[in-house]
Amino acid sequence: MRHLEESGWSTPTPIQRQAIPALLAGRELLAVAPTGSGKTLAFVLPMLALLAEQKLRGGEEWPDAPKALLLSPTHELAAQTVRVLKQLLPGSGLRCCLLSSAPVGVVQFSKVDVLVANPLRLKMLAEEGKVDLSHVTYLVLDEADKLLAMGFTEQVDALLAAASNGGIVRAFFSATLPDKVEALARSVLRDPLHIVIGERNTTQHLVKQRLLFVGREAGKLLALRQLLKGGGVKPPVLVFVSKKARAQQLHRELLYDGMHVDFISGDQPNAARAAAVESFRSGKTWVLIATDLIGRGMDFAAVNTVVNFDFPSTTTDYIHRVGRTGRAGHAGEAVTFFMEADAPKLRGVAHLVKEAGSEVPDWMLHMAKQPRNRFRDRKVCAQVCAKSWVVRCAASPLEDHLPEQDSCMSCCAGFLQIASWWQARVFESEEPVVQGHSMVCASL
């Protein structure tokens, strides 16, 4: 309790009031709560209590291996979780470890009680036998919607299987939870308790939000300079862009204006990213330019303004970006630039802004819905034999010549018809595409 009070945590938030008793009782959990609502403490506090109890009961039989595993989609979010842990661990006799990209050996994990990691690196070490997850009794997926989405699924599945302790308690936390991800989570957890704080998939009401039309691409930089120089926004300011190259380019432009500005992107070394984050936290940097890498779960208590320089790809991305301000009961502001090219995605974001209590023009709310792209990202999943060849070809001629399909292209039947048709038409092969029942991805 002393460590909590010294850190300024005196009154539990709604998610903490609901999640902590459930986890202490051994219930598996699927929790959705707004950004900045205290989710980290909601899973860290019961974890420490359960581990302390296990250590007291275990005595000399306390295993030399991790007993708790906290998975995060980014290194920055994992490092933030470790910062919270280090505030609470003194006097507990428990040790935590942040898994980095540095070379490791078995001995480094022998005295670790709480392991905080990203899935890919940990999966590799587990497969190499350098870390034993069979003693894990408490497992958390932080930002579960990201970890259960394409790109992380295989890694997370492997780690869930490796954490094979029969008495394990698992908890999935996120600020957003699409229906497909929720269904997947429910298939993994044992009779999970589902906790939803506030409205699902919405932004904080404490954040004043506005949408700003900037005309063309060149208008974005002009609008940002006017906001920063003209006092239109209050620093510290977090600026989101869509690509790493754009972060670097915008950084160079703002440096010419004499601003205290820095940027962070996924291709930087961990040390450089950590330095940029710490400089922003300490107030040395007033404007931090970032990709969506940092839009997931990072807690900057003092961020006053978020600027979406590039329009977010999805409403989920918008929620996580805007969630970097208005945290822990403090008010914030979010400004989102948009151009004519962003019109297909504008309606969904406009509704989020309206639901949060900010004003938006009626015409935005009544725009036509974005048509569903059956060939989103030019990728489909299919059942094909793992031993047979996989059809790979350019997408541009494919959409011009595909036969009409009544059902969704993502279903197996639809794809099998496409694959067989494509093989017969282009490759003129008599060997059937589908043999067996193995699942792979074919990039068309």
Considering the domain architecture, whether residues 354 and 411 belong to the same structural domain is answered as no
Considering the domain architecture, whether residues 394 and 351 belong to the same structural domain is answered as no
Considering the domain architecture, whether residues 388 and 307 belong to the same structural domain is answered as no
- Is the separation of the CB atoms in 328 and 301 below 8 Å? yes
Specify the pLDDT at position 232: 77
Specify the pLDDT at position 251: 94
Edge-first strand order for the sheet with 114-117 is 96-98, 114-117, 68-71, 138-142, 169-174, 29-32, 193-196
Domain assignment of residue 345, yes or no: yes
Six-digit token string for 226? 């006017």
Specify the pLDDT at position 444: 30
Answer whether 0.85 is exceeded by the pTM: no
- Average pLDDT along the chain, 444 residues, taken 10 residues at a time: 60 92 95 87 94 81 89 89 92 88 62 92 91 95 87 91 93 88 89 86 78 94 92 88 92 90 85 87 91 71 90 90 80 93 93 89 83 45 35 36 39 43 43 37 32
Domain assignment of residue 202, yes or no: no
The residue from 365, 400, 417 where one domain ends is 365
Considering the domain architecture, whether residues 27 and 147 belong to the same structural domain is answered as yes
Six-digit token string for 103? 């070379």
Specify the pLDDT at position 423: 45
Parent domain of 398: 376-443
Q: Burial code of 4-23, b = ≥16 C-beta within 10 A, e = fewer?
A: eeeeebeebbebbebbbebb
**CATH number of the domain that residue 275 is part of:** 3.40.50.300
Specify the pLDDT at position 427: 42
Considering the domain architecture, whether residues 282 and 398 belong to the same structural domain is answered as no
Domain assignment of residue 203, yes or no: no
Domain assignment of residue 263, yes or no: yes
Considering the domain architecture, whether residues 227 and 314 belong to the same structural domain is answered as yes
**Cβ-proximal residues to 50 (8 Å cutoff; 6+ apart), any chain:** 23, 24, 137, 138, 169
- The whole-angstrom separation of Cα 373 and Cα 151 is 20
Considering the domain architecture, whether residues 33 and 176 belong to the same structural domain is answered as yes
- The whole-angstrom separation of Cα 358 and Cα 204 is 11
Count of structural domains within the chain: 3
Domain assignment of residue 359, yes or no: yes
Considering the domain architecture, whether residues 191 and 238 belong to the same structural domain is answered as no
Domain assignment of residue 98, yes or no: yes
Q: What residue type is 195 in one-letter code?
A: I
Specify the pLDDT at position 406: 39
Considering the domain architecture, whether residues 61 and 145 belong to the same structural domain is answered as yes
Considering the domain architecture, whether residues 172 and 255 belong to the same structural domain is answered as no
The residue from 196, 228, 243 where one domain ends is 196
- The whole-angstrom separation of Cα 251 and Cα 241 is 11
375 burial type by CB count under 10 A (0-12 exposed, 13-18 middle, 19+ buried): middle
Considering the domain architecture, whether residues 213 and 160 belong to the same structural domain is answered as no
The residue from 337, 365, 393 where one domain ends is 365
Domain assignment of residue 162, yes or no: yes
Considering the domain architecture, whether residues 47 and 184 belong to the same structural domain is answered as yes
Specify the pLDDT at position 102: 59
Domain assignment of residue 201, yes or no: no
